[in-house]
Amino acid sequence: MPQWATFVGITGVVLALLLVLSHLTQSAFTDGDPDSSDGEPRANATTAAETVDGTGNSQPRDAEQAAGSDGGEQPPVARDNESARDDRSADVPSDVAGEPRDVPLESHGRQRPADRGVDPDSLSTGLVLANVAFSQGLFALVLLGAAVYTAVPAAALGIELSVAYLRSGLLWGTAAGCVFYVANELAGAAATRVGFDHDEALRELLSPDSLEGWLVLLLGVLPIIALFEEFLFRAALIGVPAAGYGLSPWLLAVGSSIAFALGHGMQGPVGVVVTGLLGFVLAAVFIATGSLLVVVVAHYLINALEFVVHEGIGLEWADPLEG
């Protein structure tokens, strides 16, 4: 007898872990972005060897120390500097009082957020691909093992062992993947046209720079991603609760699509919205066909075409639509 509740519980744990890891990764990369770490470009910050005079101009600290090193009276400019710093000390925390406001945080023994985050440029593509393949592959094995252990029917997961299932899954999955890829590109271009740019940093980070890397990406990593995400967001979150508890699959599709969107926070706000809409369309295909293979093939083709067209060929065919 199927243990529906056990499988749903394990699915919830996997989903929670995935969303937490996605949030932590997004936070780490955001903190590691030099352009957004302190709200201002780094070039505008004064170096630790400089101070600011009363008019806002930078003066070398060594020159100020040299002016008063002979024990005599400080020149007027130096007194103005000291007075200006005293006036500003009331506006800054006590641990930095008396220090110029524009001195970097490192001079106070503290680190900028970028120094605590992850610099994408420091990560190799191979390392990132290996991490993605391992984590999502592990989650997929957990869900598959849970399905076997709890005796969930294959039909509830959209799985069938037959030649007809394989043939129709490949055919309809290929057609759906090509159509959804074009629709996804048009949606991104439309968002950019109205002023909402989408973040492509993750795709660029995962793009290989060698033939071997492309083979690993297209034949290893992307299939694992498509299989795991469709197994989780469509089969486990829609098919199983609908079959086991008689819940509306369309209501489950809305919830799974929201979770699917939240799991792609690295793509930015526009990417999250577009991904959520794509997730609902894939859920609709899963409900209509009852086939996990169709949505896995479609999901794979969407991702593969994005990488090959944009990063492999370098073709930005939707750019003219962005205005």
Which pairs count as long-range contacts for 33-42, CB under 8 Å and 24+ apart, including other chains?
33/114, 33/117, 33/120, 34/114, 34/119, 37/112, 37/113, 37/114, 37/117, 38/105, 38/112, 38/113, 38/114
| Most confidently modeled range among 46-55, 122-131, 159-168 | 159-168
Judge whether 103 and 46 are in contact, CB under 8 Å.
Answer: yes
Prediction pTM value: 0.71
- Comparing CA positions, the residue from 213, 205, 193, 177 lying closest to residue 293 is 177
pLDDT of 153-172, one tens digit each?
999 999 999 999 999 999 99
pLDDT of 65-94, one tens digit each?
444 444 444 444 444 555 444 554 444 444
Rounded CA-CA distance 323/318 in Å is: 10
Give the mean pLDDT of the chain: 77
Rounded CA-CA distance 244/151 in Å is: 12
Domain ranges of the chain: 38-111, 124-322
Instruction: Please tell me which residue, 98 or 28, carries the higher pLDDT value.
Output: 28
pLDDT of 233-272, one tens digit each?
999 999 999 999 999 999 999 999 999 999 887 777 777 8
pLDDT interval class at 58 (50, 70, 90): very low
pLDDT at 314: 83
Rounded CA-CA distance 6/130 in Å is: 30
Judge whether 260 and 276 are in contact, CB under 8 Å.
Answer: yes
Residue with tokens 């129709």: 168
